[in-house]
Chains A and B, each alone.
Chain A
């Protein structure tokens, strides 16, 4: 998990409740995540084990949050994320990762995910993370921050994967990423950079948005680059 309790302001869920579409092919894991969210008030959970089921669920209702695994039996989660972002621009997307490794998380970020969830996270953390995301606080891990900063500061290397468009990041955003990579809390970072502590999560969300590849053509190109799509 990224954010410690001291780092986030736990805000209450929106009045209408949070509709979560949970896409995970491993039944025990899916059950565990569902239980973790269902155990908290204010969550409505829809489940899917495959891409097809997920698409069917998307046809029925617009989710507030898409929580998806990347390896699905009938497709790749990246495609699902892209579709969801295209159809429901207001939906937040969170990728479920086993190791929180940059390869899977960055691929998801580049198509519009704004957070990630470790599969073995504790139930309370799972609900808190989803709630924070809806409140506009995107979690980011030290290793992901490190990865982004490294890409932003090195000369572009065509062979490096996954590709990441870091050109639009501001120096301040890079400073924030450095702070996160070195394990500092939002409060520490805010104090060090002379920011208000509350603005740091907003900066992180903005970083995620800047890393998203916006146009469909770009997305296809990126996906081909990443070897996610074979032509």
Chain B
């Protein structure tokens, strides 16, 4: 399963069969609109906040032109780096029943909070808090001694080191139990959840990387694995505060978003089977590499600058490219996989636009970035889908192998059957050639001599008639033997047909007619087990019956009737009857002939019954349901 060659491969449901192009485009656009609305709705859900009684909003900002009032949440644009001093106040109850805390839900980039002139919270102590994209919150308990009943002083030193403007959300000062719930929520959403997503990314990066390692042609998997690995690095590497030998690498990793988005664009192109030129790949990954290089050589400050320009435009371009590619694929292919990818792109683009608006200050009093989280979630889902697809492909391979096994077995059976047929054919051919050889030999030798005897006997008058008859009878027998050897496919009728000809010719000089009377339209049943020796016995038996009639019965007509009767199984019956005088007044003088006939019948399992009356002799032969393989001793 190569992603490039078969982009809509395993697991893809062709929706194209069900919907026309136009209808599908409409449906697709509606779906994307719904996704955008859903995203905006989810983003707009307010974060849990403590009771507003404990909110501290009114501040005084110290500035070069004297103090100015400000109401939190507030943005502080201006040059960076700098420190902004805010003075606020809150009222504590006369009698404290529990511990009080101060909660800073959102700040850019770092804040130091002092109560009555004593620092109680410094967010710079937790390095991850300093990441502007992390939506970090911080909270600290106010030592009880510091709190005075009534109005207390609260001052905030907001450190802004760019590239973003400074921001401080509403502060909360109140009983610890009241504040902690909101804080816990924020920790869960903005600290734990990214770690969970990143862990998934690590696992998927491993799985996809191994897939790529074992199947190098699946370049798309390798590229996605790289993107995921970078994403995970981005989460787990702590941003540098002080210059150190690790700071460069960390800075490079933290500025990896443009590189990641470039990789995602490449993945989409590979996955959708687009042609990828080295130049395009270089252009896509270029900005990300420049930022990484800046991080390695120039340190955090340079990364910050490079991230805004060219990092953000590169991210926007790459995500735009992804959206363009995936939506184009969805509209042209109309399959489930393309629609899923396109929807993921829609989510990312929506989040990105919102974040850019936030940065630009178009959404005042907002400093929650969602793109990174949405990206992590979407990548996890895509990775899971790919793994799913890979497993489905394996299943398909399994079932293909199963089908193959079945087909091979069928082919084997067919081969065996055809081999058996071939054997049978060979056997028949051998018999036919043996028969041809025997015929030729008899024709050239014995047959010719017998014919000469007939000719000579006829010329030597009445005395020769007997010799001639004997020679003719020998010729008849020759023909019978040859005929019986012919492959008649178990159809006794074919043997009887030739017998009828011989017998009619033989009876003609005696002025005896031979009547041929089928009793049922189907005639005699076919016996596949019929062998030449059965045929010879039966035909000789009939010959003997005819001989008896010719010699003794003084008959004018012999009638041969044949047909099937049912005796459980369909069985054949042959009746040979003459219109002579029967055995009237005589014992059976041809006893030996009759015995012979009975013996022949018995050998083949044929039941012979004989009726004799003044109207003639009638011999009934009931054929067996199945002719015996060996002669039955009689």
Q: A residues engaging B (CB < 8 A)?
A: 1-2, 4-6, 26, 28-29, 31-32, 71, 97-101, 103-104, 118-125, 141-143, 145-146, 157, 159-161, 180-185, 188
Contact = CB atoms under 8 A, between A and B. Distances in A.
* B contact patch SS: helix
Nearest to B524: A182
A184 to B, nearest CB: 7
A173 to B, nearest CB: 17
B498 A28 contact: no
Contact of B459 (A1, A28, A142, A185): A28
B294 interface: no
Given A28-B455, A99-B443, A99-B447, A5 B508 contact: yes
Contact of A1 (B444, B447, B451, B504): B504
Interface string B458-484: 110000000000011001001100110
B496 interface: yes
A99 to B, nearest CB: 5
Contacts of A142: 494, 497-498, 500-501
B452 A29 contact: yes
Contacts, number: 115
A169 B613 CA distance: 48
Given A98-B475, A101-B482, A121-B505, 10 more contacts: A28-B455, A29-B451, A98-B451, A99-B442, A119-B451, A124-B508, A143-B498, A145-B497, A146-B494, A188-B518
10 contacts: A28-B459, A29-B451, A32-B455, A98-B443, A98-B451, A99-B475, A118-B505, A123-B458, A183-B497, A183-B498
Contacts of A141: 498, 501
Interface string B228-263: 000000000000000000000000000000000000
A125 B501 CA distance: 13
B498 A101 contact: no
A184 B456 CA distance: 34
Interface string B439-451: 1101110011011
B483 A182 contact: no
Contacts of B454: 32, 119-120
Given A120-B454, A142-B498, A125 B447 contact: no
A158 B458 CA distance: 44
A101 B443 contact: yes
A185 B501 CA distance: 10
List 5 tightest A-B contacts by C-beta distance, closest first: A183-B497, A142-B497, A28-B455, A183-B500, A98-B447
Q: Select the residue from A31, A99, A142 with max chain B CB neighbours within 10 A.
A: A99
Interface string B483-510: 1001010010110111111001100110
Nearest to B432: A160
B96 to A, nearest CB: 108
B141 to A, nearest CB: 99
A98 B488 contact: no
Contacts of B621: none
B499 A183 contact: yes
B439 A101 contact: yes
Contacts of A1: 501, 504-505, 508
B83 to A, nearest CB: 101
Contacts of A28: 452, 455-456, 459
A182 B496 contact: yes
Contacts of A125: 505, 508
B419 interface: no
Given A125-B508, A146-B488, A26 B451 contact: yes
B628 interface: no
Contact of B436 (A103, A119, A124, A143): A103
Contacts of B444: 71
B299 to A, nearest CB: 87
Interface string B542-584: 0000000000000000000000000000000000000000000
Contact of A32 (B458, B491, B513): B458
A181 B494 CA distance: 6
A160 B432 CA distance: 9
B493 A103 contact: no
A120 B482 contact: no
B509 A122 contact: yes
A4 B557 CA distance: 13
A103 B439 contact: yes
B443 A159 contact: no
A181 B497 contact: yes
A28 B455 CA distance: 6
Contacts of A97: 443
A73 B54 CA distance: 136
Given A26-B451, A32-B458, A183-B516, A100 B471 contact: no
A124 B505 CA distance: 11
A121 B504 CA distance: 12
